[in-house]
Structure 1
């Protein structure tokens, strides 16, 4: 909420938003928002608890679902995060993720990821990230400029930045921005200069050591965060060898284990694993990820 306030005050394009107390009557609260809207907790991560509502009825259901989520045993929130949620305007458009490094206030874009799967709700499970972006150069420059403005509004001047933006005919809109690097295993997609990892780039910058190059390697790369198709207990995974043998696929990592309880969004936050691909063209990377995923079969009871 405070991030939204800072960005809006600085004129950075963000969705219209308001904070709503969980003690409020959701029917009355719904009358004060425009639809479609997105409800989300003030904390949590990985799209957990993020729900789109198109009507007052859907708003009430989403409100109550988030309220129930925040009192689960596996959720730890306190302060305002335990008392409020955020309702914001749903912004249509393409979604991208920007990975950057701030050096003396200047944003160096390390990678811009396209998210080719539509993220239209009612939940917002991320799946595929592919870089370099296939958006026009002018659009990519606008994304970088908007992210730079967001960093300035938040007072960020040094270190890693991860930003999520939507892009439509009105330009880029900042959904989230944080002084951190990309999460999970997704950073494995990125290599710089002569093979330097994202983590090495960040550490060298933090230590004041020289960095030979911030330029990402030439081949396109991508990752699929394997979504949980339904709730249940994971029994086994079939097709791992076939998926791993898919052309352009570098690795398939199954992070869930047999016997693990699987909880899909919006209550859950985990993935079944990750698929990594790398080749010359972004389109071929995307195709490889989809083909490899189609060869996996998860037995869930």
Structure 2
């Protein structure tokens, strides 16, 4: 009987399905994470190490190998650990994106530079480290503009500005993101996610041309020279500008076949321009009058804590995490989706104010809403909520997954769940 292959997984996950997948594929799992999941059946070996510290993870991996351990592939579903996985894969000579490619995806200024050089549509972008640099960039690009951290996630700090006063406020907000351990509102406190998503030596402020148009998310798996689409998610509701907190996703896309092909071609061109060769990607773009413009290229599958992959599976029958793991194992990127995708989608439910959650009204009734097929809790009784946009983008207390015969049924299910499931606060 052949020996099981061993997967090094960097970081645990709030989504246990991700860690079940390797075992379902017959893999042994070496998990490098500061805290292991409570369910120890999800992994075989735990390397207790800070998953965001590449030197510490490398030392732990070398020690594991030095004591007779084996590693046949490296993977992560965690944005903040992408550079760690790339470094280890490179050192061990295993399939994966190079550290240079990961840097080009995580550092959004580098992303813009590489895409522009390759002729791939993307907003005109500058990086500033002082307000005088930001003001000069604004004068060059013209308002309106979007300011965002050079490298982060979850739309933290991202703000649309219309004049110099707003420019100054957004610039100060972003430059102040990295130091606080937590954000406060009176007695309530939540951790600062910048400590999870910040990227080393990329803490400037992006000054970016604002581009109008509907926004889409394209998820892909790629390896061995092939780039395969998992799904396109439409974002059917406009952002509540000047902030860009994510809302509902719906798939399959309502765009024409030619427009969808244009999005996919643009995503593939972007990945190639950034040097992405093996892995998964979640590419966000806007379809403008001038064609698609890349907003960002995430070097991992979309929404592995959210319901992006589950929405794709409900729609196409393809489980993206499995296909990503096959790619890093060096297997062919080949899978078959349903000929006729099923309408599916998901939506975050956002708290309406700061406070301490006592309970959730409608927690049992929400699964009776027609079309709702899943709830993932992102908060629990006793947790604090701090509404402080844009520096703290985290106010989601639950995610809702829905399926229907039509898009309208999916969106109706998501809207119905939002009316039923409501946080109740201690005060």
Task: Provide TM-score, normalisation by structure 1.
Answer: 0.91
Question: Is 2:339 the partner of 1:214?
Answer: no
Question: Is 2:257 the partner of 1:133?
Answer: no
Q: Would the alpha carbon gap of residues 60 and 137 (structure 1) be closer, same or farther in structure 2, given more than 3 Å must change?
A: same
What's the CA shift string for 1:55-86, capped at 9, x where partnerless?
Answer: 1111111111112222212333475433x110
- Aligned mates of 2:123, 2:334 — CA distance in 1: 38
The runs of 5 or more residues in structure 2 that have no matched partner are 1-108, 182-191
Kindly indicate which of the two structures has a greater share of residues assigned to helix. 2
Aligned pair count reads 300
Q: Would the alpha carbon gap of residues 28 and 212 (structure 1) be closer, same or farther in structure 2, given more than 3 Å must change?
A: closer
- Aligned mates of 2:409, 2:362 — CA distance in 1: 21
Match of 2:166 in 1: 58
Question: Is 2:120 the partner of 1:12?
Answer: yes
Question: Is 2:387 the partner of 1:267?
Answer: no
Kindly indicate which of the two structures has a greater share of residues assigned to strand. 1
- Aligned mates of 1:13, 1:140 — CA distance in 2: 16
Residue 195 of structure 1 and its aligned partner are, at CA, apart by: 4.9
How much is the aligned-residue C-alpha RMSD, in angstroms? 2.3
Q: Would the alpha carbon gap of residues 3 and 244 (structure 1) be closer, same or farther in structure 2, given more than 3 Å must change?
A: same
Match of 1:38 in 2: 146
- Aligned mates of 2:404, 2:348 — CA distance in 1: 18
Match of 2:270 in 1: 150
Q: Would the alpha carbon gap of residues 168 and 23 (structure 1) be closer, same or farther in structure 2, given more than 3 Å must change?
A: closer
Q: Greater CA deviation, 211-220 or 67-76?
A: 211-220
Task: Provide TM-score, normalisation by structure 2.
Answer: 0.65
Match of 2:86 in 1: none
Question: Is 2:229 the partner of 1:229?
Answer: no
- Aligned mates of 2:121, 2:345 — CA distance in 1: 28
Contact 2:317/2:337 (<8 A) preserved: no
Higher relative contact order, chain-length normalized (CA < 8 Å, sep 6+): 1
- Residue 81 of structure 1 aligns to a residue whose secondary structure is coil
Q: Give matches, 1:168-183, under 5 Å.
A: 168-183=288-303
Q: Would the alpha carbon gap of residues 22 and 134 (structure 1) be closer, same or farther in structure 2, given more than 3 Å must change?
A: same
- Aligned mates of 1:181, 1:164 — CA distance in 2: 12
Match of 2:202 in 1: 81
Q: Give matches, 1:286-301, under 5 Å.
A: 286-300=411-425, 301=427
- Aligned mates of 2:133, 2:228 — CA distance in 1: 45
What's the CA shift string for 1:114-157, capped at 9, x where partnerless?
Answer: 00110252110111011100011111111011111101111122
- Residue 410 of structure 2 aligns to a residue whose secondary structure is helix
Match of 2:306 in 1: 185
Residue 273 of structure 1 and its aligned partner are, at CA, apart by: 1.4
Q: Would the alpha carbon gap of residues 79 and 278 (structure 1) be closer, same or farther in structure 2, given more than 3 Å must change?
A: closer
- Residue 412 of structure 2 aligns to a residue whose secondary structure is helix
Contact 1:110/1:214 (<8 A) preserved: no
Question: Is 2:383 the partner of 1:256?
Answer: no
- Aligned mates of 1:214, 1:41 — CA distance in 2: 38
Residue 19 of structure 1 and its aligned partner are, at CA, apart by: 0.5
Match of 1:281 in 2: 406
Residue 159 of structure 1 and its aligned partner are, at CA, apart by: 2.0
Contact 2:344/2:403 (<8 A) preserved: yes
Which structure has the greater CA radius of gyration? Answer: 2
Contact 2:279/2:324 (<8 A) preserved: yes
- Aligned mates of 1:151, 1:210 — CA distance in 2: 18
What's the CA shift string for 1:6-65, capped at 9, x where partnerless?
Answer: 001111100011001146476566444411110001122110111110111111111111
Contact 2:151/2:199 (<8 A) preserved: no
- Residue 202 of structure 2 aligns to a residue whose secondary structure is helix
